[in-house]
Amino acid sequence: MKLIAGLGNPGKNYERTRHNLGFRAVGFFLSAEAQNFTFLHLNKRFNALVSEGSFENEKIILACPQTFMNSSGTAIKTLSSYYKINPQDIWIIHDDLDLVLGKLRISQRRSSGGHKGVQSIIDQLGTNDFLRFRIGIRPINIETKRIDIEKFVLQKFTTEEEKIIQEAVEKVALALKVALEKGIGRAMCEFN
């Protein structure tokens, strides 16, 4: 069994912002694989939008925590405890300011890199032994030292950036599919 969770902030104000790429990627994957999953619905027990399904005969839980980004770990811990999912079978999709816009990196056993949502998950699970699908949000011409990070991640993408991001979201969905069908190693080779 796998838990695939996209990180973001709940509410219309945050839709399509840089920090909500995890939600978008889960939504796109779900729409592409809709025949295999239930509708994404709010489950108050987990404080998350949840969809259950299967892929390649393995049970998959898709989730979008509704706890706000910086408390994502509480929903992830509740979900993983309820379904008895080991950290190695938890896959987290999130934005990453250290990566150039649209770049995808699949990694495991890394520090949070300052991402408060990821740090919340590490703190709640007591380990960083989960898989991460990191999507770059940093425009090429911007140095991260010169921006207000908290404001920047809550901005919407420009029209030009949106094209790049849509391709990245589609790439994440494909990487998830490859990882589920052929393994994490194969997905890393193809998409990193």
Is 94 one of the annotated active-site residues of the chain?
A: no
Read off φ and ψ for residue 16, nearest 5 degrees. Answer: 65, 20
Give 55-73 as a DSSP string: ETTEEEEEEEE-S-GGGHH
Retrieve residue 3's tokens. Answer: 């838990």
Active-site residue, from 19, 41, 94, 115: 19
* Residue partners of 13: CB distance under 8 A and separation at least 6: none
Torsion sign (Cα): 116, 117, 123, 126: negative
Strands (E), the chain: 2-6, 41-43, 48-55, 58-65, 90-100, 104-108, 131-138
Angle 184-191/159-182 helices, nearest 10 degrees?
A: 150
The catalytic residue positions are: 19
